Amino acid sequence: MNFLNIKTDEEIKQLAQLTSEIWHEYWPVILSDEQIDYMVDKFQSYAAIKEQLENERYIYNILEDNGNIIGYFGVSIKDDYLFLSKLYIKKDFRGLGCGKRAFNKIKQIALQHNKKSIQLTVNKNNINTIKAYEKWGFHTIDSVVTDIGKGFVMDDFIMEFEL
């Protein structure tokens, strides 16, 4: 698997298109179409990703395997930990170990930045993903309900992996 570090405007546009495709396929079983559209625009649009890269210490990678773009991840470098903001795999490539290989790359990034842990938030209803994170060694440290605007909230567990 190759990890394509996102830097240019063209790469950001490609990533924004990929995020919309994956989110609209993945989230309808948990979230309304209106909330998905709102969250993609707010957090994963071209403008949002560009802002995150320029001002929020984000690193984004597109995952490529045998010529196929299969997913992406985004992490943010915080003072005390690495925040795993996004890790998404296209439907046809889930369950094949791609997420685990991406997580190994994320651990390398955390170590390169001298972080002792990786934290993430995960929707409380996202049971399969929670199980995957637990299998990888994450444990739940808290929960949070975040108002993201327009009457929408994110109801999440906060999970942590200690390096």
Tens-digit pLDDT profile for residues 77-128: 999 999 999 999 999 999 999 999 999 999 999 999 999 999 999 999 999 9
Structural contact between residues 6 and 27, judged by C-beta atoms closer than 8 angstroms: no
Helix (H, G, I), strand (E, B) or coil at 81: coil
Residues 85-89: contacts with CB under 8 Å, at least 24 apart: 85/58, 85/120, 86/19, 86/44, 86/60, 88/19, 88/22, 88/23, 88/26, 89/22, 89/63
Tell me what pLDDT residue 12 has.
Answer: 97
For the segment 39-54, the average pLDDT, to the nearest whole number, is 96
Reported as a pLDDT band with limits 50, 70 and 90, residue 52 is very high
Amino acid, res. 9: D
Integer Cα distance of 11 and 62 in angstroms: 9
Domain ranges of the chain: 2-162
Residue with tokens 């299969």: 70
Mean pLDDT of the chain: 96
**pLDDT at residue number 111:** 98
**CATH among 3.30.2290.10, 3.40.630.30, 3.40.50.720, 1.10.3720.10 for 2-162:** 3.40.630.30
